[in-house]
Chains A and B, each alone.
Chain A
Amino acid sequence: MNRQLLRKSEELFYKVLMIISTVIIIIALLAIIISILVKGMPSLSWSMITQTPKGGYYFGKEGGILNAIIGSLYLSGGATLLALAVSLPLALYMNVHKLKQKNVVNFIRFFLDLLWGVPSIVYGAFGFTLMVFLGLRTSLLAGILTVALFIIPIMVRSMDEVLKTVPKGLLESAFSLGSTRSETAFRVMLRQCIPGITTAILLAFGRAIGDAAAVLFTAGYTDYIPTSLSQPTATLPLSVFFQLSSPIPEVQNRAYASAVVLTVIVLIISIASRGFSMKYQKN
């Protein structure tokens, strides 16, 4: 009887603990979203997302943050594509070609995890050194290179985790049909994991678009929309940063409006990816 009571109270204890932590997470998330919405929505206007800054924008005059929106999309899009070109082959290589050499794969994993832990400001500083070495100025290209380096470990490890879950039997089936390793990787593994890989790509994109430190020294900042890779570009996180550091309250509120734009972009992309991967999974 006593024992049963103990078990029941234990059950209750963990249940309460679980509810508390769930509530904390939800409240924190809602608090962030509500606070940027409350502060940002009044300042958010159509002109803000369709115009580049006019003279005196940072003193509360007319204009918008289109330069930062487009700049961020260019930069994160470019960096994601570049990172994808490196990450996907590496992740497949680790899980198909190097099956037999577990030590090599584990070493790569360890190395990538270390890189994942490096703060993005360090990537920014490294990107800056790289720029000096290559003779680049602050530009879209330099930003793309730096951010790509920064998201490669994230992308590879997320893809790796997905590819690891593929049952050995599927690999055996593919090999038994006379597939080479590359055919197994690209025709079977990739297809099997499309939803997970899409998620990995978008996770990396989300990190790329939200990071300020990596682009601080490398992409620069400008009021214009870049028309070539060699021009500097504005980005949303830096746009938020610059407007928030302004002493003028109106400009500060625009910083929150910019944050709303950034959040909405990330939201749209994750929802779109969900829809895409669900549709693909059915085929």
Chain B
Amino acid sequence: MINGTKINIEDLNLFIGNNHILKDINVQIPEKKLTVILGPSGCGKTTLLKSLNRLTDLYPEVKIQGSIFNGDEDILHPKTEITELRKKMGLLAQTPYPLPMNIYDNITYGLRISGRRKKRFLNKRVEYYLRQVSLWDEVKDRLKDPASALSIGQQQRLCLARGLSVDPDILLADEPTSALDPISSREVEELFVKLKQRYTIVMVTHILRQAKRVADYVIFMYLGEIIEHGSAEQIFEHPKNALTKSYIQGTYS
């Protein structure tokens, strides 16, 4: 067990139909660090990420066993109040999906469904979170425009602000830069670096260089199994496993 564990995954197994997607996952995710889940496409990285806030509930044929503890609460326990739990985890998807409403309402949606309605409070929050993702100056004059009118990079930052708006302590990011152009991509990446002092971040990526730039802790997955996990330094400088080594040196095709 590492010091300051935020999420503790125990004996996680996940099946889709008869396919065994995640195999005996046992790992701890450190608090207020940026953990990268690294691995080739199709190795179960995204599925593992979605298990963390039980988005797997949305998919038919998914069977999930084991436990994921956030503090004392088992996220996977059927009696766990999942909507409250999801508020503690912001999600940033591969491509931005702004809600079908204007920019202002996108940020306040999460607050409004929690019953916060005071106009002054909402105005302040909107400015605060848009500043957090350095979007305020770009959109402050058109908060009532539909969110879909923004560029894709701006949309992604808006989605990040939206995720922050419910005041989570965990951020989940599923290849958050893969749909973006290089400049937007760097902006989003820098935001994560800035945010990692205050949030526990779990980021899925297959981009090795990105992982090297941002990661504090690395989980390397291959074909549904965790091959190796450890601090970024340990994984990148002294990988123990041959598979990890070949992936990191780029000899894995």
Contacts and interface: CB of A to CB of B under 8 A. Distances in A.
Contacts, number: 80
A280 to B, nearest CB: 10
Contacts of B146: 282-283
Contacts of A167: 97
Contacts of A188: 99-100
B101 A169 contact: no
Interface stretch (A132-140, A175-183, A248-256): A175-183
B164 to A, nearest CB: 11
5 contacts: A176-B90, A177-B87, A188-B99, A282-B146, A283-B101
Interface string B92-112: 011101011110000001100
Contact of B86 (A169, A176, A187): A176
B163 interface: yes
Interface stretch (A2-10, A95-103, A209-217): A95-103
A100 B57 contact: yes
If over half of B's interface residues share one DSSP class (helix, strand or loop), that class is named, otherwise mixed; here it is mixed
A86 interface: no
B154 interface: no
Nearest to B101: A191
Contacts of B172: 176
A133 to B, nearest CB: 39
If over half of A's interface residues share one DSSP class (helix, strand or loop), that class is named, otherwise mixed; here it is helix
A195 to B, nearest CB: 11
Interface string A100-132: 111000000000000000000000000000000
A170 B99 contact: yes
Nearest to A98: B60
Contacts of B248: none
B53 interface: yes
Interface residues of A, number: 25
Contact of B113 (A102, A187, A191): A187
Contacts of A183: 113
B160 to A, nearest CB: 11
A173 to B, nearest CB: 5
Contacts of B58: 99-100, 168, 171-172, 175
A174 interface: yes
Given A177-B87, A177-B109, A191 B100 contact: yes
Contacts of B102: 283
Contacts of A169: 93-95, 97
B163 A176 contact: yes
B197 interface: no
Interface residues of B, number: 34
Nearest to A101: B60
A187 B83 CA distance: 16
Given A99-B59, A100-B60, A183-B113, A176 B100 contact: no
Please list the 8 inter-chain residue pairs (A to B) with the smallest Cβ-Cβ separation, ordered nearest first. Answer: A178-B87, A176-B91, A102-B60, A177-B110, A192-B100, A169-B97, A170-B97, A191-B100
B141 to A, nearest CB: 17
A96 B110 CA distance: 18
Interface in B159-178: 159, 162-163, 165-166, 172
A226 to B, nearest CB: 40
A173 B113 contact: no
B114 A178 contact: yes
A192 B101 CA distance: 8
A175 B102 CA distance: 19
B162 A177 contact: yes
Interface in B97-146: 97, 99-102, 109-110, 113-114, 146
B113 A176 contact: no
A90 B162 CA distance: 29
A173 B55 CA distance: 10
B73 to A, nearest CB: 15
B84 interface: yes
A170 B93 CA distance: 9
B83 A179 contact: yes
B99 A176 contact: no
